[in-house]
Amino acid sequence: MTPSLPVLSSLDDVLARYWGYSTFRPHQREVMEAILQGRDSLLVLPTGGGKSLCFQAPAMLRPGLAVVVSPLISLMKDQVDGLNASGVAAACYNSALSDDAKREVLRNVRERRIRLLYVAPERLVGDGGERFVRTLAETGVSFLAVDEAHCISQWGHDFRPEYRRLGQLRGALPGLSMHAFTATATGRVRDDIVSQLGLQSALEVVGSFDRPNLLYRVLARDQLKKQLLDVLARHGGEAGIVYCTSRREVDALAAWLVQEGRRAVPYHAGLTTEQRQRHQDAFLKEQADIVVATVAFGMGIHRSNVRFVVHAGAPQSLEHYQQESGRAGRDGLEAECVLITSAADFLKWRVMLERNGELTDASQGLLRDMERYASTTRCRHRHLVQYFGEVYGRDECGACDVCLGELEIVDDGITVARKVLSCVARVEQRFGAAHVTTVLRGQVSEAVTSRGHERLSTFGLLAQTPVTEIRGYLDQLTAHGLLRQSPGEYPVLLLTPAGRLLMRDPASQPELHLYRQRRPTRGSAPRRSQVETESWAGVDRPLFEQLREVRRSIARTRGVPPYVIFHDTTLREMARLRPTTPAALREIYGVGQRKAEDVGPPFLEAIREAL
């Protein structure tokens, strides 16, 4: 039987008792207090910013039942498992439950033994919704929290029509306050959320879009498998997601990674529901380290210790990139986000959007914004933050390839640019990037000799330049508007008027700079971000790995994902401070009273054995 609900006096008490936190993250307290006051609210915080706690903690203080609207059964289950593990009385009511389980949930709701009830929007406003809502009304609903609220808006990227009907619940649930939570919402989407939910005098809070714990890198696509192995070498045994733009590439890369000895699984809409669920569960339970996926994999994936996200191809907008890359480092610890791209990605998107009748001025604008990010040579954190309308206050982030000095300005970039443009002109603007690169490098091939291109004046002009470097120049010149690609299945490089002018007059582009990846010196390795350096300071790494194994064992026994037991932040703190008594364990970040009593002993035992 569910235990009776304790009486607590303040938000600080709640955070300490159930979550083991002694401080609030930015904006959390003001949103929690708005809920306690019965004032409507809208909160936009990036992934990992602590949105869920903003409605979970007040539910422990405000009388009545808190109803949480969530779009996915897997997302509900993960949150409820985590809450129950912390001693919070929570449940979900959805189609995955047996009839007996549904009756048990409703009995606990009627007997006021549940603080938070998770439901899908269809449960409240779909067929049979009125009867279900009447049951809730008899119990007394204190507030409605709408998670993933961008689903309300037809301009949001995960639009769900049922969400738009949630505003009608005010009439059936007297005294209800409504609160919307999302990680990504432009001003237009926020306005739509407020309008559709009928939020009244709402507190509207938009947190910073910056994720300082994420390290952003952009690479020109070449030898993708080698580039992936380079990333994986920095993350041995750690969790990651590799996004691809096609199902075929997902299957091929996942199979190759398995051959390479990696625990990888594919995920895309072409798999059966059972296969997708099995692969998702394997990833969440740490039975698989890598998911290779299309964008079908994402919302509701709450594994907190994803240490890298690789895009093997550019997404169609910075909104998509921000959300997909934001699935890394949800625990606040360091994570790496790598975009491996080429100009061909953007052409593919344009062709696909045109074929689907979706190539509008707006969609082309989103693609151009994504292209500018891929070719920028300024701080990537600044670029992303400013794109979402926020002022970036630092000169350097210390967590992107630009600010870490991994890019360098090419000596006499104007001359290099004119060599590349001249080669495009000499092959009569009839060939794509691969052929132009081959000619510039002076490589003899049948495609070159059959056309006499080995006799061109531009043959071998960049003979000592790596392929990736030349492809990077082509992408940059395209982004600068000096080259463009023709439409069609087999695009060719074309000169723009500005490109032709630069060939004739070097002074026409005085501000043009070309960049390349800094060529590594022997034995050198990519620099770490400041966040990563600080997060590992004083941590006993072997002990940390032992504690991960303890966590996996407990999670396996209980049938929950390991992060439900403790996040990596908590395990690193244990491996840094090495608590050996229950009292000392309670001082560790993220160890609440219930967890200290319930799962604390095996962790303390592992620490004592390691001393």
Give 132-171 as a DSSP string: HHHHHHHH-EEEEEESSGGGG-TTSTT--GGGGGGGGGGG
The model's pTM: 0.84
483 assigned to some structural domain: yes
pLDDT at 251 over 50: yes
CB 203 within 8 A of CB 34: yes
Shared domain for 397 and 414, answered yes or no, is no
Amino acid occupying residue 403: C
Q: What pLDDT is recorded for position 351?
A: 85
- 524 pLDDT band, cuts 50/70/90, is low
Range of the domain at 436: 409-517
The chain-wide mean pLDDT, for the chain, equals: 90
Has residue 522 got a pLDDT over 80? no
- pLDDT, tens digit, for every residue of 172-230? 888 899 999 988 777 888 899 999 999 999 999 999 889 999 999 999 888 899 999 99
Last residue of a domain, one of 403, 434, 461: 403
- 3 inside domain: no
Give the tens place of pLDDT for each residue, 361-377. Answer: 888 888 989 988 998 88
8 A C-beta contact, residue 216 and residue 381 = yes
Counting the structural domains of the chain, the total is: 4
Judge if 577 and 562 occupy the same domain: yes
On whether both 244 and 364 belong to a single domain, the answer is: yes
Together in a domain, 64 and 38: yes
* For range 149-178, the mean pLDDT: 83
**Average pLDDT, stretch 519-523?**
64
Taking the C-alpha atoms of residue 4 and residue 424, their distance in angstroms, rounded to an integer, is: 75
* pLDDT at site 348: 86
Q: Which of 536, 538, 413 is nearest to 465 (CA)?
A: 413
- The helix/strand/coil state of 332 is coil
Please state the rounded mean pLDDT for residues 377-386. 91
> Is residue 188 domain-shared with residue 166, that is, in the same domain?
yes
348 or 27: whose pLDDT is higher?
Answer: 27
Domain harbouring 597, CATH code: 1.10.150.80
Q: What percent of the chain has pLDDT over 90?
A: 63
What pLDDT shows up at residue 536?
94
What is the residue-wise DSSP string for 166-204? GGGGGGTSTT-EEEEEES---HHHHHHHHHHHT--S-EE
Q: Are residues 504 and 542 in the same domain?
A: no
Average pLDDT over residues 584-611: 95
Beta partners for 218?
339
For residue 525, being part of any structural domain is answered with no
**Cβ 603 vs Cβ 588: under 8 Å:** no
The CATH number of the domain holding residue 244 is 3.40.50.300
List the alpha helices (DSSP H) in 505-581: 530-535, 541-558, 562-565, 568-577
Residue 553 lies in a domain: yes
Domain match, 182 and 269 both: no
Range from 81-85, 155-159, 220-224, 560-564 carrying the lowest mean pLDDT: 155-159
Helices (H), 60-98: 73-85
CATH number at residue 453: 1.10.10.10
Question: Do 415 and 468 fall within a single domain?
Answer: yes
Give the up-direction half-sphere exposure of residue 487: CA atoms within 13 A in the CB hemisphere.
8
Is pLDDT of 16 > 50?
Answer: yes
348, β-bridge pairs = none
Residue 432 domain-assigned (yes or no):
yes
Distance CA 545, CA 504 (A): 61
Residue 183's pLDDT is what?
Answer: 82
Quote the Cα angle for 476-480-484, to 5°: 85
Both 399 and 413 in one domain: the answer is: no
Residue 520 pLDDT greater than 70, yes or no: no
Over residues 268-322, the pLDDT tens digits come to 989 998 998 899 889 989 999 999 998 767 655 678 899 999 999 999 999 889 8
User: Domain for residue 527, yes or no?
Assistant: no
Of 369, 403, 437, the domain-final residue: 403
In this structure, what token pair is assigned to residue 6?
């304790």
pLDDT at residue 4 tops 50: no
Name which of 328-337, 409-418, 485-494 the model is least confident about: 485-494
Q: Could you tell me the CA-to-CA distances from 553 to 280, 526, 545 in Å, in that order?
A: 19, 34, 13
Contact present, 144 and 69 (Cβ < 8 Å): yes
Residue 529 is predicted with a pLDDT of 83
**Are 73 and 179 in the same domain?**
yes
DSSP conformation class of 2 = P
Residue 6 predicted with pLDDT over 60? no
* Stretch 227-254: mean pLDDT: 94
The answer on 160 and 234 residing in a single domain is: no
Selected residue with higher pLDDT from 431 and 2: 431
Banded model confidence at residue 9, pLDDT cuts 50, 70, 90: low
Please indicate, yes or no, if residue 429 is contained in any of the structural domains.
yes
Of the candidates 151, 74, 83, the one whose C-alpha atom is nearest the C-alpha of residue 117 is 83
* Same domain for 153 and 34: yes
With 60 as the cut, is the pLDDT of residue 512 above it?
yes
Identify the pLDDT of residue 592.
92
* Residue 188 placed within a domain: yes
From 403, 438, 459, the end of a domain falls on 403
Burial of 21 from C-beta contacts in 10 A (0-12 / 13-18 / 19+): buried
CA atoms within 13 A on the CB side of 461: 22
Q: Given a cut of 90, is residue 91 above it in pLDDT?
A: yes
